[in-house]
């Protein structure tokens, strides 16, 4: 890849995802949001095109693409619906953790069905008492023969109750990050249950529930990597997840900008089209410029992660913070440009604003992104 342009393969991947979003997602997005409908069949259609295991290795049915390709795909899908794109991103993140850290038996057992999205995967780190302070999690797994016995609760879990697999961070040892391990837990495990579907500001086209463990027995063979490696595995998953959610913000914001341009060509005030007012032209120019700057940053971070650069984690945090902040602000400005119509659901702008707001919170809040960047900067100057 040249630094500032896409090659033919990348353009083809992006256009494939963009066409799918336009044909199969965008026409239904408002209805799915209103009815809180989780479009599993449509996501499986996306998986048939290779989007269920984008950067999963090919020997288990994955597409074997790069993080850069994934950023293009998630931005394109989010033009149709940020909520659907974001869940496919989470599914890919959880699946990648199995691909990267699982043994051959684990990979062959679960990944072929994850890549087709016959099985959906959820990522389970956050708890009622530990969000940003993830290393303080309390869900405990105690060894009993060849099983772990789990007790505890995860909170704000996307896909909970619908997913077939849960990649769960649990405490198997001492307090702090070194006492955390990662288990893959199947959805029909006795002792596993779910809370009510949360009533949310946005992201209504995917369920969000608590995941509850009450003496749930999980085979020790379902552990990814060694005991105590779970926090490292969780953070590695989040590096890519942060790029993905930033890309989802860009796609949603681009859709909002496109809607604004179309609206301003038609709407008149004081005898002129809205797009003839210089003040509004300047606002459009700023929105487009901010989006392009964020897109370039996301691409840089994705390329750094593909190369395993030493500063990849910091760049992913930077890109997540900048991309999600810009995405929300552009969508919010688009709502303002629509005036009162932007506040009506039928125009689709207010949904984008609602959906993108949570991107500044999940995958690590943007305050935590600043903390990650600051720590890296300070460590580098010692």
Q: Which residues are tagged catalytic? A: 363
Q: Which residues contact 89 (CB under 8 A, 6 or more apart)?
A: 70, 74, 241, 244, 245, 247, 248
Q: What DSSP letter does each residue of 217-274 carry, written as one string? A: EEEGGGEESSTT-HHHHHHHHHHHHHHHHHHHHHHHHHHHHHHHHHHHHH-EETTEEG
Distance (Å) of CA 157 to CA 55, 99, 319, 329, 362: 22, 21, 23, 26, 11
Which residue bears the tokens 């066409």? Answer: 19
Rounded CA separation 280/337 (Å): 8
CA distance linking residue 258 with residue 131, whole number of Å = 35
Secondary structure of residue 187 in the 3-state scheme = coil
- Angstrom distance (rounded) from CA 331 to CA 250: 10
Mode of pairing for the β-strands spanning 147-158 and 140-144: antiparallel
Q: What contacts 24+ positions apart, CB below 8 Å, involve 135-138?
A: 135/176, 135/177, 135/180, 135/231, 136/175, 137/169, 137/170, 137/171, 137/180, 138/171
Contacts (Cβ under 8 Å, ≥6 apart) of 11: none
- DSSP assignment of 309-360, as one string? -TTHHHHHHHHHHHHHHHHHHHHHHHHHHTGGGGGSGGGSHHHHHHHHHGGG
Q: Hey, is 283 helix, strand or coil? A: helix
Closest Cα to residue 37, out of 210, 206, 164, 160? Answer: 206
CA 55/CA 65 separation, integer angstroms: 5
**How many CB atoms are located within 10 Å of the residue 193 CB?**
16
Q: Which residues contact 329 (CB under 8 A, 6 or more apart)?
A: 290
């Amino acid at each position: 890849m040249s630094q500032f342009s896409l090659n033919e393969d990348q353009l083809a991947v992006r256009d494939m995802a963009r066409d799918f979003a336009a044909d199969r997602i965008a026409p239904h997005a408002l209805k799915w949001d209103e009815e809180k409908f989780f479009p599993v069949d449509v996501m499986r259609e996306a998986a048939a095109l290779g989007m269920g295991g984008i950067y999963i290795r090919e020997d288990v049915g994955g597409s074997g693409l790069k993080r850069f390709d994934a950023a293009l795909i998630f931005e394109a899908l989010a033009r149709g619906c940020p909520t659907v794109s974001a869940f496919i991103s989470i599914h890919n993140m959880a699946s990648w953790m199995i691909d990267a850290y699982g043994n051959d038996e684990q990979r062959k057992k679960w990944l072929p069905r994850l890549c087709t999205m016959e099985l959906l995967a959820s990522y389970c780190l956050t708890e009622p008492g530990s969000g940003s302070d993830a290393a303080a999690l309390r869900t405990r797994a105690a060894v009993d023969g060849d099983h772990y016995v789990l007790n505890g609760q995860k909170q704000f879990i996307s896909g909970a109750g619908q997913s077939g697999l849960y990649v769960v961070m649990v405490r198997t040892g001492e307090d702090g990050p070194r006492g955390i391990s990662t288990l893959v837990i199947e959805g029909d495990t006795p002792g596993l249950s779910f809370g009510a579907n949360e009533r949310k500001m946005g992201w209504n086209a995917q369920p969000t529930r608590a995941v509850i463990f009450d003496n749930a027995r999980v085979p020790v063979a379902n552990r990814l990597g060694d005991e105590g490696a779970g926090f490292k595995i969780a953070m590695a998953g989040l590096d890519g997840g942060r790029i993905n959610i930033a890309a989802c913000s860009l796609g949603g914001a681009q859709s909002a900008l496109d809607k604004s341009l179309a609206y301003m060509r038609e709407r008149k005030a004081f005898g002129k089209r809205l797009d003839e007012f210089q003040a509004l032209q300047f606002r459009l120019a700023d929105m487009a410029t901010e989006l392009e700057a964020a897109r370039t940053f996301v691409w840089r971070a994705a390329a750094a992660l593909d190369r395993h650069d030493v500063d990849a984690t910091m760049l992913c945090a930077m890109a997540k913070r900048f991309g999600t902040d810009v995405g929300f602000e552009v969508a919010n400005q688009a709502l303002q440009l629509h005036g009162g119509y932007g506040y009506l659901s039928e125009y689709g702008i207010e949904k984008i604003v609602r959906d993108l707001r949570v991107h500044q919170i999940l995958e690590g809040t943007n305050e935590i992104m600043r903390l990650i960047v600051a720590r890296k900067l300070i460590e580098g100057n010692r």
